Amino acid sequence: MADRRRHTVELYDTTLRDGTQAEDISFSVEDKVRIARALDRLGIHYIEGGWPGSNPRDIEFFKAMRSEKLFASRLVAFGSTRKARTAVKDDQNIKELLKARTACVTIFGKSWKLHVTKALRVSLDENIEMIHDSVGYLKKRVEKVFYDAEHFFDGYKEDPDYALKTLRAAEDAGADCIVLCDTNGGALPFDVEDIVREVRRTLSAPIGIHAHNDSATAVANSLAAVKEGAVHVQGTINGFGERCGNADLTSIIPALELKMGIRCLGRARLKRLRETSRFLYELANLTHFKHQPYVGESAFAHKGGIHVSAVLKSPETYEHIRPELVGNHQRVLVSDLSGRSNILYKAEEYGLDLESDSPVLRKVLSDLKKLEHQGFQYEGAEASFELLIQKALKRKEKYFKLLGFRVIDEKTVEGREPYTEATIKLEVNNLVEHTAAEGNGPVNALDKALRKALERFYPSLKKVRLLDFKVRVLAGGAGTASKVRVLVESGDGVDKWGTVGVSENVIEASWQALVDSLEYKLFKDKKKKKKKKRG
């Protein structure tokens, strides 16, 4: 086995090229520039910016990056070997690579005889010449040339001698690193270990790994390659990529740093991993994957009472690393599986001092189990849960009294959107407020009417915005009469919070969640004022 402590690993990010080949992902030139800055802040060694010979957007990106200063990273242009029957100096793809004016270039070539004869339709010898000519020509004109051996593992399994011959062609031409690609994502970790070990016996050039996730082993394959001496790892942030994605650098990096003792980022930069992951999701306009290892919202979330009890005594009982090392944090969830430890943990989070034998604690546990049995869920609605604790403590304030509301949804012409209006009557401080608002649906109209009625008394509610609204039909087999759970996420430009409502009537469930949202904002404001006074 290779001595895993004797080398460091350089990180090569291909989110801006391979990552953009994923379904539902498209980055503008400005997006790509912002991502490059974020990867530079994280400390990635090489950022593959795109294929300048394939589309105008990538050409524009490389032009835009000429005015950007990178501190930790180096920009890389990507392309292929020269075309068959074309002199390398005349090949348009090679010309575009040089026009990108990057100090580092990556080109890929064929390692699998199937691709040489069926896809390229050239002789095996000509393929070798294409690799040698392209690497050699570029190496004389740029500082670093990385050679990606496409489909290497499949090619090696079919004909190891020929696959290795293609690598030697790149090595002889001066490639700075030869990257073994599992392009179809079909390799398994023990295949990778055996093959990388054999390649290292044959070549003296540094070896890299580029794995796809079609067999759900891209991260494991990358780590297996490093174990056998690979010193260069390619991947994408969040595993973005074609089909099932690429190797996820947000899992590879902490595994190298924290588990294998191999330096790639350093501990200080490792703490930026989660924020970088979330930034990429935002720019891609994709929902964050909650259960993503290391950086996901649920990666260090604990729900079962026994687990929480143990974690409070010693975090390593149910956490494989300290979440703060990767910029994440521990969370305790509350549900009908919760024990006293969960409630005590949450109460402490909210600044409440409860004893483990407190009657309030017993009441909250009892209420929680009853409410969750009815369909309430507090894992994504922690604001509603905090209000539940306040109610049990008899501290929950009543900011207004509902005297009634009515929602009208009227459609008069086929093909035209319905007209929706909500009318609401409230009592606040012995004063009655009666108002109405229009919306693009019943819930939107009700939300507008409620806030319109309250803003006169509570001006801070003007800052509240409904950020997300989810409706889930709960199991019950009652069809359109089934219970629904509404989860609402609200924000005021500073904080975000979640609230929940449950009913057979979607407007009633929405009303519950909306009321909790506004009451939580008022409760939060009051708590801040008290804290200021004490300070």
- Do 54 and 202 have their domain in common? yes
Calculate ∠ Cα 179-182-187, nearest 5°: 130
pLDDT digits (tens, 9 = 90+) for 28-49: 999 999 999 999 999 999 999 9
What is the C-alpha separation between 12 and 148, in angstroms, rounded? Answer: 12
Structure tokens at 391: 């109610």
pLDDT for the residue 356? 61
What is the C-alpha separation between 149 and 110, in angstroms, rounded? Answer: 6
Question: How many structural domains comprise the chain?
Answer: 2
- Do 280 and 405 have their domain in common? no
pLDDT for the residue 479? 55
State the residue for tokens 């330096």: 263
pLDDT for the residue 168? 98
CATH code, 517? 3.30.160.270
pLDDT digits (tens, 9 = 90+) for 292-302: 999 998 999 88
405 or 368, greater pLDDT:
405
pLDDT digits (tens, 9 = 90+) for 13-27: 999 999 999 999 999
Nearest to 192 by CA among 212, 167, 170, 169: 212
Identify the domain boundary among 284, 310, 340: 284
Q: What average pLDDT does range 247-273 have in this prediction?
A: 96
Pairing of strands 74-80, 104-110: parallel
Q: Kindly tell me if the per-residue pLDDT of 464 is higher than 90.
A: yes
Q: What average pLDDT does range 410-419 have in this prediction?
A: 87
**460 occurs within a structural domain:** yes
Tell me if residue 205 falls in helix, strand or coil: coil
pLDDT digits (tens, 9 = 90+) for 174-233: 999 999 999 999 999 999 999 999 999 999 999 999 999 999 999 999 999 999 999 999
pLDDT digits (tens, 9 = 90+) for 75-108: 999 999 999 999 999 999 999 999 999 999 999 9
**126 occurs within a structural domain:** yes
What is the C-alpha separation between 330 and 259, in angstroms, rounded? Answer: 20
Percentage of the residues of the chain whose pLDDT score is greater than 90: 70
What is the C-alpha separation between 317 and 417, in angstroms, rounded? Answer: 55
- Do 280 and 407 have their domain in common? no
pLDDT for the residue 3? 45
pLDDT for the residue 341? 65
State the residue for tokens 């490639």: 175
Confidence bin at 261 (pLDDT 50/70/90): very high
Name the amino acid, one letter, at 108. F
pLDDT digits (tens, 9 = 90+) for 120-130: 999 999 999 99
Q: Element (H or E) spanning 359, and its range?
A: helix 359-374
Q: Kindly tell me if the per-residue pLDDT of 252 is higher than 90.
A: yes
Tell me if residue 283 falls in helix, strand or coil: helix
Q: What average pLDDT does range 60-82 have in this prediction?
A: 97
Phi and psi dihedrals of 4, rounded to 5?
-75, -10
Name the amino acid, one letter, at 68. E
What is the C-alpha separation between 297 and 293, in angstroms, rounded? Answer: 9
CB contact at 8 A, 166 and 199:
no
Concatenate the DSSP letters of all residues of 368-421 into one string: HHHHHHHT---TT-HHHHHHHHHHHTT------EEEEEEEEEE--STTSPPEEE
pLDDT for the residue 2? 42
Q: Would you tell me how many other CB atoms lie within 10 Å of the CB of residue 12?
A: 27
* CA 62 to each of CA 16, 25, 297, 431, 443: distance values in angstroms, whole numbers, following the listed order: 11, 19, 34, 63, 46
Q: Would you tell me how many other CB atoms lie within 10 Å of the CB of residue 353?
A: 8
pLDDT digits (tens, 9 = 90+) for 425-463: 999 999 999 999 999 899 999 999 999 999 999 999 999
Tell me if residue 7 falls in helix, strand or coil: coil
**388 occurs within a structural domain:** no
Positive or negative, the CA dihedral 520, 526, 531, 535 is positive
pLDDT for the residue 148? 98
pLDDT for the residue 157? 97
Identify the domain boundary among 228, 253, 284: 284
pLDDT digits (tens, 9 = 90+) for 145-180: 999 999 999 999 999 999 999 999 999 999 999 999
Tell me if residue 213 falls in helix, strand or coil: coil
Q: What average pLDDT does range 456-485 have in this prediction?
A: 81
Confidence bin at 4 (pLDDT 50/70/90): very low
Q: Which residues, in sequence order, are bridge partners of residue 431? A: 428
Confidence bin at 287 (pLDDT 50/70/90): confident
**55 occurs within a structural domain:** yes
pLDDT for the residue 336? 47
What is the C-alpha separation between 86 and 466, in angstroms, rounded? Answer: 59
Distance of CA 445 to the CA centre of its chain: 33
**370 occurs within a structural domain:** no
CB contact at 8 A, 253 and 238:
no
Distance of CA 66 to the CA centre of its chain: 28
Round the average pLDDT of the chain to a whole number and report it.
90
What is the C-alpha separation between 205 and 201, in angstroms, rounded? Answer: 11
Phi-psi region of 76 (alpha: psi -120 to 50; beta: other; left: phi over 0): beta
- Structural domain boundaries enclosing 116: 11-284
Among 95-104, 404-413, 470-479, the range of highest mean pLDDT: 95-104
Pairing of strands 419-428, 401-410: antiparallel
Contacts of 215 (CB under 8 A, 6+ apart): 185, 186, 187, 188
Q: What average pLDDT does range 261-275 have in this prediction?
A: 95
**6 occurs within a structural domain:** no
pLDDT for the residue 226? 98
Identify the domain boundary among 237, 262, 284: 284
pLDDT for the residue 412? 84
Q: Element (H or E) spanning 485, and its range?
A: strand 484-491
Using only C-alpha atoms, the chain has a radius of gyration, in whole angstroms, of: 29
Q: Would you tell me how many other CB atoms lie within 10 Å of the CB of residue 472?
A: 14
Contacts of 526 (CB under 8 A, 6+ apart): 397
pLDDT for the residue 528? 85
**311 occurs within a structural domain:** no
pLDDT for the residue 353? 64
What is the C-alpha separation between 487 and 514, in angstroms, rounded? Answer: 9
**94 occurs within a structural domain:** yes
CATH code, 78? 3.20.20.70
CB contact at 8 A, 52 and 100:
yes
Q: Kindly tell me if the per-residue pLDDT of 513 is higher than 80.
A: yes
Structure tokens at 432: 């009655």
pLDDT for the residue 481? 58
